[in-house]
A and B are shown apart, each in its own frame.
Chain A
Amino acid sequence: MPPTYHRYEDVLIAPPNITMALLDAFASVGLAVTQPPKEVYDLLHALQCHRLLTPELAHATILVRLSDFLCRLFFH
Chain B
Amino acid sequence: MSPFLSLTNLCPAQKSDISIALGRNKRHLLLDYLLSTGKVESIIDIPLVEQVDGSIVALSRRTNTSLSHVLLEELDQAIFHRFDPYAIPITRTNLPSTAIQLLKSTSLLDVEPLGVDHIISYITHVPCYFGPFPGASSSIFVQYVSWVSEFFEWLQHSPLENILCDHLHKHSLLPVNSGQLKPISSGVFSTNHTHNRDGLVQFLQRLGLSFLHPGVSALAQKYLDPHLKSLNNPHDVLTVRATRTLNS
Chain A residues within 8 Å of B, Cβ to Cβ: 18-19, 21-22, 24-26, 28-30, 54-56, 58-59, 62-63, 65-66, 69-70, 73
Residue contact B7 to A55, C-beta cutoff 8 Å: no
Residue contact B37 to A55, C-beta cutoff 8 Å: yes
Chain B residues within 8 Å of A, Cβ to Cβ: 2-5, 7-8, 10, 21-22, 25-27, 29-30, 33-37, 39, 41-46
Give min CB distance, B49 to chain A, whole Å: 14
Chain B residues near A55 (CB-CB < 8 A): 33-37, 39, 42
Chain A residues near B37 (CB-CB < 8 A): 54-56
Residue from the list A18, A22, A29, A59 in contact with B4, Cβ < 8 A: A29
Residue from the list A19, A58, A59 in contact with B44, Cβ < 8 A: A59
Known: A55-B33, A55-B36. A63 touches B46 (CB 8 A): yes
A to B contact number (C-beta, < 8 Å):
65
Residue contact A25 to B45, C-beta cutoff 8 Å: no
CA distance A59 to B45 in the complex (A): 9
Known: A59-B44, A63-B46. A29 touches B3 (CB 8 A): yes
Residue contact A21 to B29, C-beta cutoff 8 Å: yes
Residue from the list B10, B35, B39, B46 in contact with A62, Cβ < 8 A: B46
Residue contact A25 to B29, C-beta cutoff 8 Å: yes
Give the top 10 A-B pairs by smallest Cβ distance, nearest first: A69-B4, A25-B26, A25-B29, A59-B42, A55-B42, A55-B34, A22-B29, A29-B3, A30-B3, A28-B3
Chain B residues near A30 (CB-CB < 8 A): 2-4
Residue contact A65 to B22, C-beta cutoff 8 Å: no
Chain B residues near A66 (CB-CB < 8 A): 4, 7-8, 45-46
CA distance A55 to B7 in the complex (A): 18
CA distance A73 to B7 in the complex (A): 13
The chain A residue with its CB closest to the CB of B45 is A63
Chain B residues near A73 (CB-CB < 8 A): 5, 10
Give min CB distance, A71 to chain B, whole Å: 11
CA distance A55 to B99 in the complex (A): 14
Chain A residues near B10 (CB-CB < 8 A): 73
Known: A29-B4, A63-B45, A66-B4. A58 touches B34 (CB 8 A): yes
CA distance A54 to B22 in the complex (A): 21
- Known pairs A28-B21, A55-B34 / 5 extra A-B pairs, C-beta < 8 Å: A25-B25, A28-B3, A56-B39, A66-B45, A69-B5
The chain B residue with its CB closest to the CB of A19 is B29
A-B contact pairs, 17 of them (CB 8 A): A21-B29, A22-B30, A24-B26, A25-B30, A28-B21, A28-B22, A55-B39, A56-B37, A58-B34, A59-B43, A59-B44, A63-B46, A65-B4, A66-B46, A69-B2, A70-B4, A73-B5
Most buried by B among A21, A55, A73: A55
Chain A residues near B45 (CB-CB < 8 A): 63, 66
Residue from the list B2, B3, B33, B43 in contact with A22, Cβ < 8 A: B33
